[in-house]
Amino acid sequence: MTDLPRRRGLPPLILALLYTGAVLLPLAFAAAAGEAHRHVTMQFAAATGTVAAGMILLQMISSGRFEAVSGRIGIDITMAFHKWAAPVALAFALAHVAFLIGLPDPERPYRVTRRLLFYATSDTLWDARFALLLLVLLVVLALLRDRLPARYQIWRASHALGAVALVALLVWHILGDGRMGPAGTALWIGFALAVTLPALWVYVKRLTRPARDCWTVAGVRKLTPRIWELTLDNPQGHRLRFRPGQFVWASVGGRRLPLHDHPFSIASAPHDPQLRLLIQEVGDFTSSLGSVTPGTRVGIDGPHGSFGPSGKPRGGLVLIAGGVGIAPALSILTDLAHRGSACPVRFAYSAHDTKDMIPQEMLRPALEALNVTPLLMASTGTGDGVAQGRLGKAQMQRLLDGLDPAQTEVLICGPGPLMTSLTDLLAGMGVPLSQIDYERFSYGSGALSRKDKRMLGGFTLLFAALSAAIAAYSLT
């Protein structure tokens, strides 16, 4: 029996404490060094600027590539944090500028205008102006990404290069302040290196990728009008050790840099010698799979992610897959069957049309071994045992029938709206939010589930703690 690797990565509370500690370290250092300004607005300016800089630097390592960060909390929460921390850092940066300019003073009517002009034109502040402009651009382009006419890869390359340039400009600006002693200078340089080097290492290590990460295409098969199955062999005989539900970054055709990587869930089970991916056509890369031939090289970086059964014995496991979300579900079911799991399993699979569903023979062996009758649904079309409609309350009740919701673990993978609505329905039926896990295949915006709102509540608390630290530093 294949041993499953342990979940790597830090627990959420430790991550939150490390994050807060890292952001506030330069502020604590400034306080300890007795760096103080005469006016309280200047104190606020220094504190907001310092916190903004710390947050921006840490964005380099919250981009979903580091298992220490995302291995336990999952890629969804990691990317959500990356997405929400950016505008908050921008807000602190804008507050930094606003505090520097100060409030209008009736006794000095031209002060605000004079200061504005100074900050906008001073030769010594070019780095700060460029940094602010770059930050605004990075945040706005990321928020508008899905609507940009540029290819995803172009946006991603510009985002990565822009981020490195922003870190360099920021550190240059901070050190250029001139009031920092050697220890302060060392602190900021160390901070910048600590976040930049790991991010650069993700790129550099690709150029020296070990042979065991180079797989070759053994077969390409069209399963539905838009879903391809890619089977990969490892010429070195290396087996990827992963937990069912995890994903890999794959780059097809000898392309080495991570810019060409695409994330795909592993559809094979850990005991399978081959690696199998199910890939749905959505854009330029996924639509080109028809031209991939056996023998093509595929670079694999992984496993990543924390989606999948917790492994702790529970009252039952409900697995729900929508569309190509069947990929991780297939891996999970096959693995449970291989292990002879005794945990009651319920399974639902839905697609827009029956012809968009993968062949049932691919699921049957695992379902039969687990004694599971699948709940299959499609909005249109007819098929063997496939009911017409969408997954909703009645289907969730059926899945939970005979299980104790409080002891049931639910895994959902599929389109965003499906995961959001089903999470809320299941939570309403007594399944604790902590026992519902889902994974998005796209980081674009969409409706929020109760679980997402709880996560945002956690982020808000963290950002509020940073604001409180700014106030404490400035007012004492």
Ligand X SMILES: Cc1cc2nc3c(=O)[nH]c(=O)nc-3n(C[C@H](O)[C@H](O)[C@H](O)COP(=O)(O)OP(=O)(O)OC[C@H]3O[C@@H](n4cnc5c(N)ncnc54)[C@H](O)[C@@H]3O)c2cc1C
Neighbour-count burial of 413, counting CB atoms closer than 10 A to its CB (0-12 exposed, 13-18 middle, 19+ buried): buried
| Piece in contact with ligand X (CB under 6 A), picked from 16-24, 112-120, 284-292, 449-457 | 284-292
283 binds ligand X per the rule CB under 6 A: yes
For residue 327, what are the CA distances in angstroms to 38, 230, 247, 396? Answer: 61, 11, 10, 21
- For ligand X, which residue of 41, 158, 286, 360 counts as binding (CB under 6 A)? 286
188 binds ligand X per the rule CB under 6 A: no
449 binds ligand X per the rule CB under 6 A: no
Query: Do residues 417 and 392 lie in contact, with contact meaning Cβ atoms separated by under 8 Å?
Result: no
Measured from the CB of residue 84, what is the shortest distance to ligand X in angstroms?
Answer: 17
Q: How many CA atoms lie within 13 A of 39 on its CB side?
A: 8
Q: Which residues pair with 232 in a beta bridge?
A: 217, 275
Measured from the CB of residue 96, what is the shortest distance to ligand X in angstroms?
Answer: 32
275 binds ligand X per the rule CB under 6 A: no
192 binds ligand X per the rule CB under 6 A: no
Alpha helices in 126-262, H assignment, sequence order: 126-143, 152-176, 182-207
Q: How many CB atoms lie within 10 A of CB 387?
A: 14
**Cα-to-chain-centroid distance, residue 53:** 22
* Token pair in block for residue 59: 């964005």
Residues 66-125 that bind ligand X (CB under 6 A): 75
Whose Cβ is closer to ligand X: residue 48's or residue 423's? 423
| Piece in contact with ligand X (CB under 6 A), picked from 276-284, 313-321, 366-374, 398-406 | 276-284
Buried b or exposed e, range 227-253, using 16+ CB within 10 angstroms? bbbbbbbbeeeeebebbbbbbbbbbbe
Total number of residues binding ligand X (CB under 6 A)? 25
Whose Cβ is closer to ligand X: residue 280's or residue 474's? 280
Query: Do residues 396 and 385 lie in contact, with contact meaning Cβ atoms separated by under 8 Å?
Result: no
Query: Looking at the chain, how many residues does it have?
Result: 476
176 binds ligand X per the rule CB under 6 A: no
CA distance 336 to 413: 17
444 binds ligand X per the rule CB under 6 A: yes
Measured from the CB of residue 442, what is the shortest distance to ligand X in angstroms?
Answer: 4
- For ligand X, which residue of 261, 272, 424, 452 counts as binding (CB under 6 A)? 261
Measured from the CB of residue 455, what is the shortest distance to ligand X in angstroms?
Answer: 16
Angle between helices 152-176 and 40-58 (to 10 degrees): 140
Measured from the CB of residue 325, what is the shortest distance to ligand X in angstroms?
Answer: 8
Whose Cβ is closer to ligand X: residue 59's or residue 280's? 280
CA distance 174 to 196: 16
- For ligand X, which residue of 117, 189, 197, 282 counts as binding (CB under 6 A)? 282
- For ligand X, which residue of 48, 265, 306, 421 counts as binding (CB under 6 A)? 265
Whose Cβ is closer to ligand X: residue 356's or residue 439's? 439
Whose Cβ is closer to ligand X: residue 74's or residue 374's? 74
Measured from the CB of residue 440, what is the shortest distance to ligand X in angstroms?
Answer: 6
269 binds ligand X per the rule CB under 6 A: no
Residues 316-355 that bind ligand X (CB under 6 A): 324, 327
Query: Do residues 156 and 148 lie in contact, with contact meaning Cβ atoms separated by under 8 Å?
Result: no
- For ligand X, which residue of 29, 119, 172, 443 counts as binding (CB under 6 A)? 443
404 binds ligand X per the rule CB under 6 A: no
- SS3 per residue for 27-91: HHHHHHCCCCCCCHHHHHHHHHHHHHHHHHHHHHHCCCCCHHHHHHHCHHHHHHHHHHHHHHHHH
What single-letter amino acid sits at 52? A
Whose Cβ is closer to ligand X: residue 152's or residue 172's? 152
Q: How many CA atoms lie within 13 A of 223 on its CB side?
A: 25
Measured from the CB of residue 427, what is the shortest distance to ligand X in angstroms?
Answer: 23
CA distance 186 to 405: 53
Buried b or exposed e, range 313-352, using 16+ CB within 10 angstroms? ebebbbbbbbbbbbbbbbbbbbbbbbbebebbbbbbbbbb
Measured from the CB of residue 154, what is the shortest distance to ligand X in angstroms?
Answer: 10
439 binds ligand X per the rule CB under 6 A: yes
| Piece in contact with ligand X (CB under 6 A), picked from 92-100, 190-198, 442-450, 468-476 | 442-450
262 binds ligand X per the rule CB under 6 A: yes
284 binds ligand X per the rule CB under 6 A: yes
263 binds ligand X per the rule CB under 6 A: yes
Measured from the CB of residue 444, what is the shortest distance to ligand X in angstroms?
Answer: 5
Where on the chain is the footprint of ligand X (CB under 6 A)? 75, 146, 152, 247, 261-265, 278-280, 282-286, 305, 324, 327, 439, 441-444
